[in-house]
A and B are shown apart, each in its own frame.
Chain A
């Protein structure tokens, strides 16, 4: 297809600035992580003159990064697992059954996911503190269990909504054929729908994990020094007197690489899942 000159110019006008805008911060992160501390204190050097891997070693001892890492992995994985499993059943019901209360249920799911997290943070904080006070020990407030519960506030509705959209796209003739062959509704879910919805399920899991991994609002109030996640713990590199910018960048790189790689591998599932949910 022949393109007009004006469109080819437009292409460069769009792509070049956007590529620079996107890439420069990433470049800053990678190069600063490879510099000794004195080189990130003064003017920014485009070419690192003294390459070192020390920030990647020191970052584990400046703050207890490994503990934060474990907390993030545990909390995010469990919240993701819960919401995906619950969402599989719920979205199957929404997509394949017409039952009383379906509209109310979908309405609640859809509306809660547009509400801001702070709306849930304040009451959950009060509920957690008061439950723990009556129990006499820390069960929910500043514990991993409590944090998992709060993460479900955003992973669960999105998972249900997105997966229901995805399942609506799977032809009904598939599971109806299975039912004619004598499979029960649950059998159809496990044998027909689950394999067909695998891209959608992967997308939901990736998305839940990503949002949990980057979550700050709940983690900033509902964790303590033992249960702190990466999102809050990363702020500890800045002390009163010193900011270890090279170690901050090294840590940012290390916590990002697994998530970015996972995202890039699974992005085609995410795209199909997202658009299936959005366009219905």
Chain B
């Protein structure tokens, strides 16, 4: 839309207009200014988002296998064939996709829920803490600041079966198990990926909650305290109420980010994770780059995108209703 306007504007000569009494539809630099300002952003959005997305949607309708990677115009058109394969839940590929989706959903609910509770609780108690607040705040934020792979690789070391700290604590220290369990293969892999993701995610929830609590005016608490409200009542009726809009945004962001989590399973397990930790993004990644079936991979990413759009849409409806009721 912006581009067509620019083209129209360019055809007309730019004339200096009198400062007062301009006709509403005349060209002026002021009217053109916002389009010039967003022009670089529009060009780059086209380059890195819009065109790749259109190409991606097109790719989901062609049979883009390894024979056609370097010459994709030759790939045969298969219509909705890739989607039929991805959504055929009785076939092996469709079933794997459903399993991966359910694992990702469980993973996301656990990670977002626990990260939110951790972040909120830590912010609540630190907000009212005098000494030691700065130190703990800094400590809690380090996992978030750490590059993802650095943090995850520490956990990979801790979770090693033979020389890892966790098994040493569980087996030799606490004698909770007689055999050293595997944490990076088999069913336990799910626990590992959840714990490591929480370790990285909860500081973000903490950071946002802290920031939200800082803007709540202190007078509110003082007034409530004079009226005899207990600490818990203050938290429930002042902090939680005031935090509602921020929490809504925070939960949506956490959900969207966690649902597409790639780094944690990829660094912990490599490109082919154990079944129990086969998160969707890694699933799409390995289906595409290991079997080189980009058509199917694109169809699955389009489905993932549609799901996230639906989630965000439902969130927007819910958020609007909450705000109207409040």
Residues of A within 8 A of B (CB): 1, 3-4, 6-7, 10-11, 14-15, 18-19, 21-26, 28-29, 32, 40-44, 82, 85-87, 89-90, 92-94, 97, 99-102, 104-105, 108-109, 111-112, 114-127, 129-130, 133, 149-150, 152-153, 156-157, 160, 185-186, 210, 213-214, 216-217, 220-221, 230-231, 234-235, 245, 248-249, 252-253, 255-256, 259-260, 263-264, 267, 270-272, 274-275, 278-279
Question: Does B138 contact A264, Cβ atoms closer than 8 Å?
Answer: yes
Residue of A nearest to B1 (CB): A101
CA distance A93 to B2 in the complex (A): 12
Q: Does B24 contact A (CB under 8 A)?
A: no
Question: Does B153 contact A90, Cβ atoms closer than 8 Å?
Answer: no
CA distance A48 to B315 in the complex (A): 50
Question: Does B41 contact A7, Cβ atoms closer than 8 Å?
Answer: no
Q: A28-B158, A99-B35, A264-B141 are in contact. Are A216 and B136 (CB under 8 A)?
A: no
Question: Does B71 contact A130, Cβ atoms closer than 8 Å?
Answer: yes
Q: How many A-B residue pairs have CB under 8 A?
A: 298
Question: Does A19 contact B285, Cβ atoms closer than 8 Å?
Answer: no
CA distance A256 to B200 in the complex (A): 14
Question: Does A18 contact B140, Cβ atoms closer than 8 Å?
Answer: yes
Q: Does B94 contact A (CB under 8 A)?
A: no
Q: A18-B140, A127-B52, A149-B48 are in contact. Are A252 and B153 (CB under 8 A)?
A: yes
Which B residues are CB-close (under 8 A) to A259? Answer: 145-147
Question: Does B249 contact A118, Cβ atoms closer than 8 Å?
Answer: no
Report which of A23, A150, A231, A260 forms a contact with B148, defined as CB distance below 8 A: A231
| Interface of chain B: mostly helix, strand, loop or mixed | helix
CB distance from B142 to the nearest CB of A (A): 6
Q: A120-B48, A271-B207 are in contact. Are A260 and B262 (CB under 8 A)?
A: no
CB distance from A171 to the nearest CB of B (A): 17
CA distance A87 to B40 in the complex (A): 9
Residue of B nearest to A275 (CB): B211
Which residues of B212-237 are within 8 A (CB) of A? 212, 215, 221-222, 225, 230-232
Which A residues are CB-close (under 8 A) to B164? Answer: 44
Q: A256-B147, A279-B249 are in contact. Are A116 and B56 (CB under 8 A)?
A: no
Q: Does B154 contact A (CB under 8 A)?
A: yes
Residue of A nearest to B119 (CB): A18
CB distance from B53 to the nearest CB of A (A): 7
Q: Does B246 contact A (CB under 8 A)?
A: yes
Question: Does B154 contact A123, Cβ atoms closer than 8 Å?
Answer: no
CA distance A187 to B231 in the complex (A): 50
A-contact bits for B64-90, CB 8 A (1 contact / 0 none): 100001111000000000000000000
CB distance from B232 to the nearest CB of A (A): 7
Question: Does B42 contact A22, Cβ atoms closer than 8 Å?
Answer: no
Report which of B55, B71, B149, B245 forms a contact with A127, defined as CB distance below 8 A: B55
Question: Does A42 contact B163, Cβ atoms closer than 8 Å?
Answer: yes
Q: A15-B136, A23-B139 are in contact. Are A130 and B158 (CB under 8 A)?
A: no
Instruction: Provide a sorted-by-A list of 11 A–B residue pairs whose CB atoms are within 8 angstroms.
Output: A10-B121, A26-B154, A44-B165, A119-B304, A129-B70, A152-B44, A152-B48, A185-B30, A185-B33, A230-B149, A279-B212
Question: Does B285 contact A90, Cβ atoms closer than 8 Å?
Answer: no
CA distance A18 to B126 in the complex (A): 12
Residue of B nearest to A216 (CB): B263
CA distance A87 to B41 in the complex (A): 7
Report which of B147, B153, B267, B297 forms a contact with A122, defined as CB distance below 8 A: B297
CB distance from B133 to the nearest CB of A (A): 10
Q: Does B309 contact A (CB under 8 A)?
A: yes
Which B residues are CB-close (under 8 A) to A252? Answer: 149-150, 153-154
Question: Does A231 contact B149, Cβ atoms closer than 8 Å?
Answer: yes
Question: Does A267 contact B52, Cβ atoms closer than 8 Å?
Answer: no
CA distance A89 to B41 in the complex (A): 8
Q: A28-B165, A235-B267, A274-B211 are in contact. Are A116 and B281 (CB under 8 A)?
A: yes
Which B residues are CB-close (under 8 A) to A42? Answer: 163
Query: Knowing that A11-B125, A133-B71, A210-B145 are A-B contacts, what are 5 other residue pairs whose CB atoms are under 8 Å apart, sorted by A's residue number?
Result: A15-B122, A87-B41, A116-B260, A118-B260, A217-B266
CB distance from A69 to the nearest CB of B (A): 12
CA distance A210 to B148 in the complex (A): 9
